[in-house]
């Protein structure tokens, strides 16, 4: 039985009418060749069934072309959008994205990071900036570019970032929600979220806005660490039994807020009066829910684009003076809280 010879770079180059070096560049760094050349190389490679040897390419270029991304969850629509845009942006620059899900577990994050680093990554993306000691030790010894998403260093004792940061102020996000609810005339706003580091900052911002506007301590309720529709459902059931002393609810995740809206409809509770509901994340469903959901928007696509740019600059050896980029946040007022339309 005759073994069929595998196509080589020279075969692709011959068919595409370019040099072998151009083939290597088009497949490993597509942004450095013209679109026409890249298309000819890709078509020739597809026609021949050529698959580049990434290990051999890494020995020559000293790069693997792999970027690792450790995300807390891949089911959250905001992070799903971020992952999609990261994938597209990195692919355009010749990188491949390797994704791991930590499910909000510091131990799982450390376990995945150890496995990822064994693959000789060119760069690393971390969702959120809070890590255990094992992860921190691994990152300090990795000597690769790192970008942390979402959380800016802030608060009385701001954390020390491992690498560059692209994110927003959790304090400002919470403050925007609290201020909006006060401005809409609610007298007893409540905060509904988990109690980790980032949620604590949102709580502090929310609390300050309510204290400034109403002079009272807002109600706080602990939800599950992995947000779900059930969180919002449970809160509304407690509200219906007069166990939630609030006339406005700020959920730190849109899924919880949507769950609350659904349960209000089932129980006949009118929104936004007597009860206002505000979410966080501004998911697509927020715009089409009934009533439409007020939410704090984070520009996920901008986060992804800037992350790709920062990583690529560092991998190329370019000087990056910016340590942290604040993409900001914006409260989008909709029907679920809008008592006083402007």
Domain ranges of the chain: 1-38, 66-169+299-326, 171-297
Task: Pick 171-297's CATH classification: 3.40.50.620, 3.30.70.980, 3.40.50.2300, 3.40.1360.10.
Answer: 3.40.50.2300
* Distance between CA atoms of residues 202 and 170, nearest Å: 5
Note if the bond before 274 is cis, omega within 30 degrees.
yes
Task: Pick 66-169+299-326's CATH classification: 3.40.50.2300, 3.40.1000.10, 3.40.30.10, 3.40.50.450.
Answer: 3.40.50.2300
Radius of gyration of the chain (CA): 24
Q: Which two tokens stand for residue 308?
A: 């790709």
Q: Is 301 exposed, middle or buried (0-12, 13-18, 19+ CB in 10 A)?
A: middle
Residue 257: per-residue pLDDT? 96
* Residue 32 CA neighbour count, 13 Å, CB half: 13
Residue 172: per-residue pLDDT? 96
Alpha helices in 93-147 (DSSP H): 106-117, 133-142
Residue 1: per-residue pLDDT? 45
Residues constituting the chain = 342
The three-state secondary structure class of 255 is helix
Cβ proximity of 254 and 215 under 8 Å: no
User: What's the pTM value of the predicted model, to 2 decimals?
Assistant: 0.77
* Distance between CA atoms of residues 241 and 264, nearest Å: 13
* Distance between CA atoms of residues 45 and 31, nearest Å: 17
**Mean pLDDT, 10 residues at a time, over the chain (342 residues)?**
68 84 75 80 78 55 77 82 91 90 87 86 85 85 87 74 88 97 96 89 96 96 88 96 96 95 96 96 92 95 93 87 89 90 54
Residue 57: per-residue pLDDT? 52
What residues are paired with 165 via a beta bridge?
Answer: 148, 324
Question: Do 66-169+299-326 and 171-297 share a fold?
Answer: yes
* Distance between CA atoms of residues 58 and 42, nearest Å: 20
């Amino acid at each position: 039985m005759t073994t069929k010879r595998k196509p080589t770079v020279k075969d692709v180059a011959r068919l595409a009418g370019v040099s072998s070096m151009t083939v290597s560049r088009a497949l490993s760094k597509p942004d450095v060749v013209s679109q026409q050349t890249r298309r000819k190389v890709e078509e020739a490679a597809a026609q021949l069934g050529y698959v580049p040897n990434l290990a051999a390419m890494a020995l020559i270029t000293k790069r693997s072309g792999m970027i690792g991304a450790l995300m807390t969850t891949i089911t959250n629509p905001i992070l799903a959008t971020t992952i999609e845009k990261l994938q597209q942006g990195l692919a355009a620059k010749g990188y491949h994205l390797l994704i791991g899900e930590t499910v909000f577990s510091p131990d799982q994050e450390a376990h995945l990071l150890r496995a990822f680093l064994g693959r000789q990554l060119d760069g690393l993306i971390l969702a959120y900036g809070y890590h255990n000691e094992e992860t921190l030790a691994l990152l300090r010894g990795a000597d690769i570019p790192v970008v942390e998403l979402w959380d800016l260093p802030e608060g009385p004792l701001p954390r020390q970032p491992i690498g560059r940061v692209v994110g927003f102020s959790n304090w400002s996000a919470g403050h925007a929600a609290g201020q909006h609810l006060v401005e809409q005339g609610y007298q007893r706003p409540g905060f509904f979220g988990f109690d980790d580091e980032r949620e604590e900052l949102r709580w502090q911002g929310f609390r300050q806005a309510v204290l400034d506007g109403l002079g009272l301590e807002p109600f706080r309720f602990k939800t599950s660490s992995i947000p779900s529709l059930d969180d919002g459902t449970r809160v509304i059931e407690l509200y219906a039994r007069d166990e939630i002393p609030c006339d406005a609810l700020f959920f730190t995740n849109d899924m919880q807020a949507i769950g609350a809206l659904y349960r209000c409809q089932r129980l006949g509770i009118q929104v936004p009066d007597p009860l206002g509901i505000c979410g966080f994340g501004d998911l697509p469903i927020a715009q089409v829910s009934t009533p439409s959901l007020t939410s704090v928007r984070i520009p996920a696509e901008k986060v992804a684009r800037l992350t790709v740019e920062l990583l690529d600059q560092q991998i190329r050896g370019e000087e990056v003076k910016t340590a942290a980029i604040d993409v900001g946040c914006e409260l989008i007022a909709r029907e679920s809280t809008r008592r006083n339309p402007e």
